[in-house]
Amino acid sequence: MSMLKCIVRYLLVAGALLAAFVSVCHADVVSPRLLLEVADIASPTMSPDGRNVAFRVERASVERNTYDTMWYVQGLDDALPVRVADGGVPLRDSAGGSLPPKVLWSPDNRWIYYSALVDGKIDVWRAAADGSGAEALTHDAADVRDFALGEGGRVLRYSVGATREEVRSAEQAEYDQGIHIDDTVPIGQDLYRSGYVGGRMATQRFSKVWFDRAPLLADVPDRWTEIDLATGARRALAGSGVPSVPSLVPGKADVDGDPWKSVREPHGGRVVWLTRIGDGRGQQQRPDVQLSALPRVHAIRAVRCVSAQCTGKAITEIQWRPGHDEVLFTVTDPDLGLAQSILRWNVGTGEVRVVVKTRGLVDGGRDPASSCGVSAEKLVCVTAEADRPPRLERIDLESGKRDVLFDPNAALASDMAKVAPTRLLRWEDKQGRWFTGQFYSARRGGDGPAPLFVTYYSCPGFIRGGVGDEWPLASLAQAGISALCINRRPGYTMDAVARYGEGLAAVESAIDLLSKEGEVDRARVGMGGLSYGSEVTMWTVTQSNLLAAASVTTPVLSPSYYLIGSMKGAAFFKGLRDMWGLGSPSETPERWKTLSPAFQLDRIRAPILFQHSEQEYMYALDYEIPLIREHRADLYVFPNEPHQKFQPKHKLAVYERNFDWFRFWLQGYEDPTPSKKVQYVRWRAMREHARQGRSSTP
C-alpha cells in the first residue's frame, strides 16, 4: 500500500484531524514498532446535555522516548472530533501502568476540567469544549491529587499533599545524611531518585500494598483548596468543606457477600453494588458476583438481579443510566475469551435486556474494568478486539446500534485483518478444565507445521504482546511462528503447586491440540510471560520438556527474593505463607525446593532470555548468574523501569529482542543487521553449549 493510499484512508475515516496519527503503512507486515505506537483512547465522558463526549488519546513516541496525549471533544451527531488541549505526560501507578485520566464537564457544557502533568507540575486544567483555548487553574506549589466541581460548577475544589520543594528537600536530606534502611525502603533498586513519580525521577518507599511504591512524604494528609472560578479567589477548606462521596455499606441494605464495587446514582440517592458470593475455600476471593441495588431513593432494602442474564455471570462494571430506573452492567465472559457484553437491568421491574455483545472489549481499549461514557440514550465506549486496535463507538441504548465515532488506528486495523487475524481457541485439559486463548496462525514458509510461541496470563482487548506487552505476537506469526495468548481460568488458587500446575496444563493441552491438528511443531515451542506469566513460564521450564526456549521478564521465588523482601516484615511473611505456603528457606526447605528454580537448575533444559526492570532484577540473581555462567541464559536489565516497563525505547528494544530470540531458537534465523551481531555471538555459544551437553549425556 502506498503512503498516499494510507493517508487517504485515514482522511476518509475522520478528516484532516487524523493526519497527526498517520505513519507509513505496512500492508505486508505489522512490525513491533507499529504495535508499540497504537493510539490508546481513555476516559470517554459525556457532557451533561448528552450531545458531546470528551476523551483522551495517548500514543508512544520512540524518537522522544515519551508519550503524546491529547484531549478531544466530539459531538455524537457524526461531527469530527475537536482537539481541545494537550494532555501532558501520562501519570502512572507504581507498577508502570498508565492511570486513567479524570475529566469533569461543567454543568453548562462549555468546559472540561482535567488534571495534567505539564512542565513538571500536576495542575487542574480547564479547556473550552469548542477548542478555543485551555489554561491551568490551580498553580499550586504541590501536585494536585484530586479535584471536584461544586456550587453548580462555580467553584473548583482540589487537594494536594506536600509541596514539590518539600519532597525534593526530603530527598536531598536523605542523600546528605545517608538513607536509613528500614521496612519501607525498596532494597534492590537505587535508593536515591530511582523511579519515575509524577514524571520525574524520585526517591520511593514501599506503600501498604505488597510491593507498591510511593514517593517520600506521600503520607502527608490532603489539604483542600477552593477556587471561585469567576473571581479567582481562593480559600482553604477544612472539615465540612472537604468534598466527600456518601456511601452505604451493602450489609445495611441486606446485601449479601463481600463488598467489591459500588456506584451511587449521580444527582440521586440510589446505590448499586457488586458483591462477591459463593464458596471461596482455597481461592483468594469468592467465585461469583451478585448485582444488587436500591430500587428507590429512600429505600433501605436492596433488590437483587435474579435474571439468568446476571446470575453466575462475570460482571465487571456497573453504572446508572441517567434519567432511568436502570443499571447498566458489563459481563466479561471467560468462556468467550474475555469478550464483553453490556446489559441493562431495570431495578423496579427486574427486567434485563442486552444492549450490545462484542467479541472483545467494549468497556475500554485495555482495561476490562473501565467504563463507557453514558447519557440517557447513548453509550460512548472504547472498543477493541484481539486483532482490532482501539476505536471510539457510539451505541444506542435501546437498539444496540453501533457507529464508529473516532478511529485513529484505522490503517493498522486494516493491515491486521489482512495479515495477522486471530481466532479464539477453546479447549480442555486431561482433567476436563476449559481454557481459552487468542491464536495467530503462522504464515507458512513450507508444508510442515510451524513453530509455536505461547504466553500465559490474560488476553483482553487488542493484543500487542501479552500482559506487559513484551512479545509481538502478530509479528511472530508473520515471521512464521504461530502465537497463542492463553487466558488463565477465573479465580486465583491459593495453593501455588495447583495454581502453577493449572497453567502448565493449559500450555500442554494447547500444544497437544494444535500439534494434532498439524498446526504446530511440538518440538519447536517457546514461551514467555510477565509477573504471574513469568511464574508459569518458569514452572513450565522446570517441570516439563515442552519448551525449546523461554523468555522471562519478572523474577520468581528465590532465596534472594526472600532475603530482600524480608525487610518488609510481617506483611511480606504473611504473603509468602498465604500465596506460596512458604516460610524461610530453613523453615520450609522442601517447599522451597519444589517452587524455586534456584533449587532446580539441573532441571532447566531450555535457554532463557531474561529482560528485567532495574527495580526487580536483583531478586533473581541467585539462579540467573549460574545459568549465565553456564551459557544457559542471557540477561538484560532496563534502568529506571518498574514492574511493567513503559519507556518507549525500552519497550521497542524488548519487543525486538524477543522477536530475534524466538526466531533464533525456533527457526535458526539470524537478523543480518550489524548492530545485532554481538547478541548472536552469545546465542550461538549458548546453542553450542547445549549441543555439547546433550551429546555428553549418557
Closest CA to 289 of 331, 344, 228, 246: 331
Residue of higher predicted confidence among 365 and 620: 620
Residue 363 grid coordinates: 468497556
Q: How confident is the model at residue 246 (pLDDT cuts 50, 70, 90)?
A: low
pLDDT tens per residue across span 84-131: 999 999 999 999 999 999 999 999 999 999 999 999 999 999 999 999
Helix, strand, or coil (residue 655): helix
Q: Is the pLDDT of residue 272 over 90?
A: yes
Burial of 678 (0-12, 13-18, 19+ CB in 10 A): exposed
Residue 661 grid coordinates: 530470540
What is residue 93's DSSP assignment? -
Q: How far apart are CA 191 and CA 202, in angstroms?
A: 10
What is the reported pLDDT for 1? Answer: 34
Q: How far apart are CA 160 and CA 476, in angstroms?
A: 46
Q: Is the pLDDT of residue 433 over 50?
A: yes
Closest CA to 490 of 482, 502, 481, 478: 502
Q: How confident is the model at residue 268 (pLDDT cuts 50, 70, 90)?
A: confident
Q: What value does the mean pLDDT take over residues 232-256?
A: 82
Q: How far apart are CA 464 and CA 442, in angstroms?
A: 16
Distance of CA 391 to the CA centre of its chain: 17
Please, which residues have CB within 8 angstroms of residue 486's CB and are 6 or more apart in sequence?
435, 436, 437, 454, 455, 456, 457, 459, 506, 507, 510
pLDDT tens per residue across span 16-39: 344 444 444 444 689 999 999 999
What is the reported pLDDT for 18? Answer: 44
Q: What value does the mean pLDDT take over residues 459-480?
A: 96
What is the reported pLDDT for 12? Answer: 37
Q: What value does the mean pLDDT take over residues 418-447?
A: 93
Residue 521 grid coordinates: 511443531
261, amino acid identity: K
387, amino acid identity: D
pLDDT tens per residue across span 281-293: 999 999 999 999 9
Residue 637 grid coordinates: 536489565
Q: Is the pLDDT of residue 5 over 50?
A: no
β partners of residue 136: 125
237, amino acid identity: L
What is the reported pLDDT for 2? Answer: 37
Residue of higher predicted confidence among 408 and 365: 408
What is the reported pLDDT for 506? Answer: 98
Q: What is the dihedral of CA 145, 193, 641, 625, to 10 degrees?
A: -150
- Phi first, then psi, for residue 97 (nearest 5°) are -75, 145
Full set of structural domains in the chain with CATH: 420-556+607-696 (3.40.50.1820), 559-595 (no CATH)
Residue with cell 536530606: 173
What is the reported pLDDT for 315? Answer: 97
Q: How far apart are CA 219 and CA 232, in angstroms?
A: 29
Q: How far apart are CA 83 and CA 97, in angstroms?
A: 25
3-state secondary structure labels for all residues of 393-415: EEEECCCCCEEEEECCCHHHHHH
Q: How confident is the model at residue 15 (pLDDT cuts 50, 70, 90)?
A: very low
What is the reported pLDDT for 6? Answer: 39
What is the reported pLDDT for 488? Answer: 96
Q: Is the pLDDT of residue 373 over 70?
A: yes
Contact 636, 611 (CB under 8 A): yes
pLDDT tens per residue across span 667-676: 999 999 999 9
| Angle, CA 188 vertex, CA 185 and CA 192 arms, to 5° | 60
Residue 32 grid coordinates: 513491533
Contact 578, 640 (CB under 8 A): no
Q: How confident is the model at residue 244 (pLDDT cuts 50, 70, 90)?
A: low
Burial of 405 (0-12, 13-18, 19+ CB in 10 A): buried
pLDDT tens per residue across span 629-663: 999 999 999 999 999 999 999 999 999 999 999 99
Q: How confident is the model at residue 556 (pLDDT cuts 50, 70, 90)?
A: very high
573, amino acid identity: F
Please, which residues have CB within 8 angstroms of residue 685's CB and are 6 or more apart in sequence?
631
